[in-house]
Structure 1
Amino acid sequence: MIEAANRLHTVEEYYFSKKLREVNLLIASGKPVINLGIGSPDLSPPQKVVDAIANSLFDSNAHKYQSYQGLPELREAMATFYKEHYNVSLSPKSDILPLIGSKEGIMHISMAYLNQGDAVLIPNPGYPTYQSVTKLMQATPVFYELDERNNWQPDIKALEQKDLSKVKLMWVNYPHMPTGAVPSEHTFRELVDFAKRHDILIINDNPYSFILNDNPTSILNIEGAKDVCLELNSLSKTFNMAGWRVGMVVGNGDHINNILKVKSNMDSGMFYGIQKGAIEALNCSKMWFVTLNSVYKKRRDLIWKLAESLNCTYDKKASGLFVWAKLPAFVNAEEFIDLVLKEHHIFITPGTIFGSKGEGYIRFSLCAQTEDLEEAITRIK
């Protein structure tokens, strides 16, 4: 038996990969499971985006290998998007690298910068992939705790007390997943100053800034941020294109070039038609966001009612594609969601998959039809 690499002993199969097998078995056995666990948009992309990919199939270049850096017009559209919505100026030639989904960017950035034994600051609670990729790189995760009392913002004073001598990267994610906390300008300024003091590269993972959020922001809007920060962004949630796999990493051209050295050895470019569709999405008017959020507001109202039916509390000021709800005292998150799944056939995500600070919380997805949400409320009541 040929043994797998030692690095695989440091990670486990992704939670949703395992849990959804259980959920799908219940569905296959006839159980009417309502899935409120994952943030996979169920709404359609803009029609002009769908038309663009369909029409592109007849272009002479559609089926050829594509540039590792993406179409020039795609990078132009990304630069325009950042200028219009975040007031951040980027060079399409040097400061933008399209990605086959922003998730691959986490791996590419880590491969470009981490050596064995380096340390990485990771939020708790936070996206589990930050930790797993760090371990696969044989680097050391160093968790920094986020707390509801501090609106889930980093405590810079506490960070300063850690041994930062081996820290190379720091992952931040605002608007924050899973809590929905939005960043203050003060938070971003503190992070940029912190990165400069300790020679750390900060990456803000920013896929949720247009969902139920009136003030989309980028860390690159802070003066001097491009020297010490990168930002990941995605079209998955903003334009209902999760399965299309379109994202980007933006920042200083030197950093982008380092990431390109990895990426160009990992794939052979993004499918031409998807790039054409992405261009149309990025050129959407602001009415798209108004329409999208009107749907999510109705769904969130229903999720709030569902949370109340389960005796949970929540923050009405939070943004994003999820509702982060606090369980009654002394209730175990994983035991609770398993009970709800068994008795009511409703799948909810336990906060513990995002770290130890997620204990006592559960996360609801807004990616479900209003009829399903109303049915879920009825089942609980």
Structure 2
Amino acid sequence: MSLDWIKPADRIQQLPPYVFARLDELKAKAREQGIDLIDLGMGNPDGATPQPVVEAAMKALQDPSNHGYPPFEGTANFRRAITTWYKRRYGVMLDPDSEALPLLGSKEGLSHLAIAYINPGDVVLVPSPAYPAHFRGPVIAGGQVHSLILKEENDWLIDLTTIPDEVARKAKILYFNYPSNPTAATAPREFFEEIVAFARKYEILLVHDLCYAELAFDGYQPTSLLEIPGAKDIGVEFHTLSKTYNMAGWRVGFVVGNRHVIQGLRTLKTNLDYGIFAALQTAAETALQLPDIYLHEVQQRYRTRRDFLIEGFGKLGWDIPKTKATMYLWMKCPVGMGSTDFALNLLQQTGVVVTPGNAFGVAGEGYVRISLIADCDRLGEALRRIEKAGIRYQPEVVGAGSELGV
């Protein structure tokens, strides 16, 4: 019997194919063919979760009081750990009872915030390129996404002056993310001051994704939106334990900021889930209380890999700026080759997996994102394979024929 009459809702059919899912299919086929993949695609940190965090989880598992439903708003201890961490890290005072909400990872919270606050037809400002949840959540909610095209010559910063006044007056929410996934761009404090003033002028809710703030290098300290005077009146900020503490599979994140917005998200979530397993919240408390030496070790790991790859790709013709934060490099495709074709070419010829930039929006075309999720031995092997395959970057010469570089 045909089931063609059972169709997904329009909101699902409107979503473009999820590139990461397609990459997983291609990687599975490559492994079936016996190819030794070096997967630098997804931002999935390598290495183990810190041992104190694991031990805290094991101990919490033995406590029967953790085996029931957790509080919808998260445990009081975890919420206090979140606000204490924010005070220590950014000097921001938050009320643990109303201005902090644990999440099943930041991706869940970012998407559900869209459902909680966006009505069909509402205008939502989203940079391009951007983390997919920033535009897919609004699309699922029925919002009208207005893309803010980011450009390399502007250091991948949002140019607020390019937003038409009539668009700004209609806009309800602006999603943004610095340090940025995928471009690894950072924003100065002055930018945050400008975007807060812009949002207050046009009465726009700011949603800042600060998931990579702790992966900062060379003395750089990212800015929290909530450090800016008046930001808490019109904004919230999302965080995750996935990257800093190697807890991607644990699915623990949180949102802080405006109490009314957080209450709206909490109300939605009470109808969708029962929150994070209490034992995991205990483990997350431990993570947020780890001494800074652990953070320094993580930063050193990614800084070393960053320098190694930038130097290696430099020998193959690429000029990649030295990033100040995140676990990514944002690299141009060879002249004349699109993001998807270049990523597929790398996979098929070398077994090296990267993410095509168009997965992050139209303005990501022409780039690929490389995740620093392998040690230098494997990164060196990736570079050797690319060099052996004859893949290089050759800058376009005006008046000359274009070269694919492959």
TM over 0.5: yes
Deviations along 1:322-346, one digit per CA (max 9) or x if unpaired, are 0111234333222112111111111
1:106 equivalent in alignment to 2:89: no
Instruction: Give the paired residue count.
Output: 381
Q: Tell me what 1:116 maps to.
A: 120
Deviations along 1:264-291, one digit per CA (max 9) or x if unpaired, are 1111121111101100000011111111
1:215 equivalent in alignment to 2:221: yes
Q: Tell me what 1:155 maps to.
A: 159
C-alpha contact (below 8 Å) 1:123/1:172 kept by paired residues:
yes
C-alpha distance in 2 between matches for 1:14 and 1:193: 35
1:76 equivalent in alignment to 2:80: yes
1:195 equivalent in alignment to 2:188: no
Letter in 1 for 2:70: Q
C-alpha distance in 2 between matches for 1:13 and 1:266: 25
Q: Tell me what 1:91 maps to.
A: 95
Q: TM-score scaled to structure 1, two decimals?
A: 0.97
Q: Tell me what 1:33 maps to.
A: 37
> Once the 2 structures are TM-superposed, how far is the Cα of residue 305 of structure 1 from its aligned partner?
3.4
Q: Tell me what 2:282 maps to.
A: 276
1:371 equivalent in alignment to 2:343: no
> Once the 2 structures are TM-superposed, how far is the Cα of residue 307 of structure 1 from its aligned partner?
2.7
Q: Tell me what 1:18 maps to.
A: 22
Q: Tell me what 1:250 maps to.
A: 256
Identity %: 36
Moved over 4 A (4+): none
C-alpha contact (below 8 Å) 1:309/1:377 kept by paired residues:
no
C-alpha distance in 2 between matches for 1:83 and 1:137: 33
Q: TM-score scaled to structure 2, two decimals?
A: 0.91
| Secondary structure of 2:226 counterpart | helix
C-alpha distance in 1 between matches for 2:196 and 2:342: 39
1:259 equivalent in alignment to 2:269: no
Alpha-carbon spacing, 1:76–1:231, altered in 2? closer, same or farther (3 Å)? same
C-alpha contact (below 8 Å) 1:306/1:376 kept by paired residues:
no
C-alpha distance in 1 between matches for 2:317 and 2:165: 37
> Once the 2 structures are TM-superposed, how far is the Cα of residue 33 of structure 1 from its aligned partner?
1.2
Equivalent in 349, 353, 356 of residue 347 of structure 1: 353
| Secondary structure of 1:262 counterpart | helix
> Once the 2 structures are TM-superposed, how far is the Cα of residue 216 of structure 1 from its aligned partner?
3.1
Q: Tell me what 1:304 maps to.
A: 310
C-alpha contact (below 8 Å) 1:95/1:256 kept by paired residues:
yes
| Secondary structure of 2:54 counterpart | helix
Higher mean C-alpha displacement, 144-153 vs 196-205: 144-153
1:42 equivalent in alignment to 2:83: no
Equivalent in 112, 130, 138 of residue 142 of structure 2: 138
| Secondary structure of 2:317 counterpart | coil
C-alpha contact (below 8 Å) 1:305/1:377 kept by paired residues:
no
Letter in 2 for 1:130: H
C-alpha distance in 2 between matches for 1:264 and 1:231: 20
C-alpha distance in 2 between matches for 1:178 and 1:152: 10
C-alpha contact (below 8 Å) 1:169/1:202 kept by paired residues:
yes
Structure 2 residue ranges without an equivalent (≥5): 388-406
| Secondary structure of 2:207 counterpart | strand
Higher mean C-alpha displacement, 17-26 vs 222-231: 17-26
Equivalent in 163, 170, 175 of residue 166 of structure 1: 170
C-alpha contact (below 8 Å) 2:101/2:262 kept by paired residues:
yes
> Once the 2 structures are TM-superposed, how far is the Cα of residue 176 of structure 1 from its aligned partner?
0.9
| Secondary structure of 2:368 counterpart | strand
| Secondary structure of 1:197 counterpart | helix
C-alpha contact (below 8 Å) 1:207/1:232 kept by paired residues:
yes
C-alpha distance in 1 between matches for 2:299 and 2:9: 45
> Once the 2 structures are TM-superposed, how far is the Cα of residue 20 of structure 1 from its aligned partner?
1.1
1:313 equivalent in alignment to 2:319: yes
C-alpha distance in 1 between matches for 2:245 and 2:276: 18
C-alpha contact (below 8 Å) 1:78/1:282 kept by paired residues:
yes
Deviations along 1:215-269, one digit per CA (max 9) or x if unpaired, are 0321010000001111011100011101000101111211111111001111112
> Once the 2 structures are TM-superposed, how far is the Cα of residue 43 of structure 1 from its aligned partner?
1.6
